[in-house]
Structure 1
């Protein structure tokens, strides 16, 4: 018989043979495998045909295995144990995990994520390393090609073959330096549109789209003096040049120079919170090491964490 011929062998017979060898009784072996005694007797007959040997001799105290049965059991039991491990659920022992996870992340989020994540890894998974790169316009392509394990970004939609998990929702606020003349509550619509703004540009996401569409519907616009995707440039301009900036209420607390700023509610009740999402490729969705890291990142943000899949092209 060659390897392909194994397809003709009922592997359940091997399990029955192991039970017969260990129980030395058709009745007890049947009970152990939740089978009837006639069914186990039929399995024994098929085993004898398969191996061309009597295998067991009935005696007053039970079944006595033949020399061939002893030889088969010595070879078979390790194989059954290997098969059991093969089909058993895969688990992760973080303390033994050795790999590097590559994450594309915006500077804004790195303030919230990287240091707490490293601290957790040092305690629970000392052999895990991180490679954190700036989020770029091509980061989703890097995720699809396998150059990145995860992307952390804002947004409501995931591209084809990309899964995502909502980590939290951010309420947009208006940031101003503390001694700014407009840094008083409440901020009116008229005061808001009169402010000079810095637009912090996020690759692949227009975080001001909802706001500016709302203003357009009111025949209003903002005056954007500076556009940048560099966090320190944005923060220095915000703190030193009398500009305003839209950011998340949660993110604001961990920004550089946050103690020099105030966060004012926006004067637009229609604005909805924005989702912060962790994204990964479909190929890694069932990988237990990826699942472990996804749960770890999500734990930094709190109890929210529903997973969803983007449209898939089969």
Structure 2
């Protein structure tokens, strides 16, 4: 490698390198950069010649980074992200002229309770933008890393260092049952609910192989049986309406919209169970005006929904 490698390198090639490393696929990289595949091939050839390494080898379905490439990405990515933030630092966000698609991935818990509020807020504040809400999936964190999803909202999940998490709100645990459910208490214990089956919400990438309610019961030596699982909240509601199952949820659930259901507060060791909700975004966007606005919007919507539910339930 030449002694002054930096001065002899077209820095635009590093943008191509970063995207190729993310996508591990020539076609996807070309789509993301809005250039042709031959242009990507040409850029990769220049990068290989400059660094004296193959950087990526062809494998079934795409590319695989070499060991040199793996090391190089760790060295340059923080600096490229810092450069992007520095250049965008003084860009004020003009919501009235913001014209872009805002992709957000929501866990099923949030999707059911917050979609309308988020849509109304974005439509009012950034009327030229388009809000796209998708369900949180096992690929969401990768989608955030690769720029396909701008932000995600879920419970606390393990995530790579390229993804930045920020606390939004702490929800209180509740269980949802039908109005004429045999358990008539409004405040119950784990023992009270342990004789009923669980209609468990499945969130890909978070509780793929467990249920928080079931785990809590087992720790207390109580029986726990999951009668039904789904990542679709409406499917769980339908099951709860026609059985004695209960659905673990939170004080985010708008029970007042479902008059055939009621909410039971559950104490665990004498205390209300609490679970934090966080937002997730690429670490390079953590201080951007766009992300600051979006995280504030999400946080306000969550707090407003919980406050509304509290007022409705106390009425």
Fold-level similarity (TM above 0.5): yes
TM-score if structure 2 supplies the norm length? 0.62
1:196–1:225 CA contact under 8 A, matched in 2: yes
> How much has 1:88 moved relative to structure 2?
7.8
Task: Tell me how far apart the structure 1 counterparts of residues 147 and 191 of structure 2 sit (CA, whole Å).
Answer: 48
Q: What SS does structure 1 have at the residue aligned with 2:302?
A: coil
Task: Tell me how far apart the structure 2 counterparts of residues 164 and 189 of structure 1 sit (CA, whole Å).
Answer: 31
1:94–1:125 CA contact under 8 A, matched in 2: yes
1:210–1:271 CA contact under 8 A, matched in 2: no
Residue of structure 2 equivalent to 1:206? 207
2:92–2:289 CA contact under 8 A, matched in 1: yes
Residue of structure 2 equivalent to 1:220? 222
The structure 2 residue matched to 1:235, chosen from 234, 237, 241, is: 237
Residue of structure 1 equivalent to 2:282? 281
Task: Tell me how far apart the structure 1 counterparts of residues 89 and 141 of structure 2 sit (CA, whole Å).
Answer: 33
Residue of structure 1 equivalent to 2:260? 260
Residue 124 and residue 293 in structure 1: after superposition, are their counterparts in 2 closer, same or farther (change >3 A)? same
Residue of structure 1 equivalent to 2:160? 159
Following TM superposition, the consecutive aligned residue runs of length 4 or more in structure 1 with deviations greater than 3 angstroms are 156-159, 207-214
> How much has 1:110 moved relative to structure 2?
2.0
Structure 2: which 5+ residue stretches go unaligned? 1-6, 8-86, 305-315
Residue of structure 2 equivalent to 1:182? 183
C-alpha deviations, 1:265-296, integer Å up to 9, x for none? Answer: 21413564101111101122232222222222
2:197–2:226 CA contact under 8 A, matched in 1: yes
- Cα RMSD (Å) of the superposition? 2.6
Q: What SS does structure 2 have at the residue aligned with 1:94?
A: coil
Task: Tell me how far apart the structure 1 counterparts of residues 298 and 147 of structure 2 sit (CA, whole Å).
Answer: 19
Residue 193 and residue 270 in structure 1: after superposition, are their counterparts in 2 closer, same or farther (change >3 A)? same
2:136–2:204 CA contact under 8 A, matched in 1: yes
Task: Tell me how far apart the structure 2 counterparts of residues 240 and 88 of structure 1 sit (CA, whole Å).
Answer: 54
Residue 140 and residue 220 in structure 1: after superposition, are their counterparts in 2 closer, same or farther (change >3 A)? same
Task: Tell me how far apart the structure 2 counterparts of residues 126 and 115 of structure 1 sit (CA, whole Å).
Answer: 15
Residue 177 and residue 144 in structure 1: after superposition, are their counterparts in 2 closer, same or farther (change >3 A)? same
Task: Tell me how far apart the structure 2 counterparts of residues 87 and 176 of structure 1 sit (CA, whole Å).
Answer: 49
> How much has 1:262 moved relative to structure 2?
1.3
C-alpha deviations, 1:170-189, integer Å up to 9, x for none? Answer: 11112111111113244344
Does structure 1 residue 144 correspond to structure 2 residue 145?
yes
Structural mapping, 1:108-127, within 5 Å: 108-127=109-128
Q: What SS does structure 1 have at the residue aligned with 2:96?
A: helix
Q: What SS does structure 1 have at the residue aligned with 2:183?
A: coil
C-alpha deviations, 1:45-104, integer Å up to 9, x for none? Answer: xxxxxxxxxxxxxxxxxxxxxxxxxxxxxxxxxxxxxxxxx8982211110111111111
Does structure 1 residue 251 correspond to structure 2 residue 243?
no
Residue of structure 1 equivalent to 2:29? none
- The count of residues paired between Structure 1 and Structure 2 equals 217
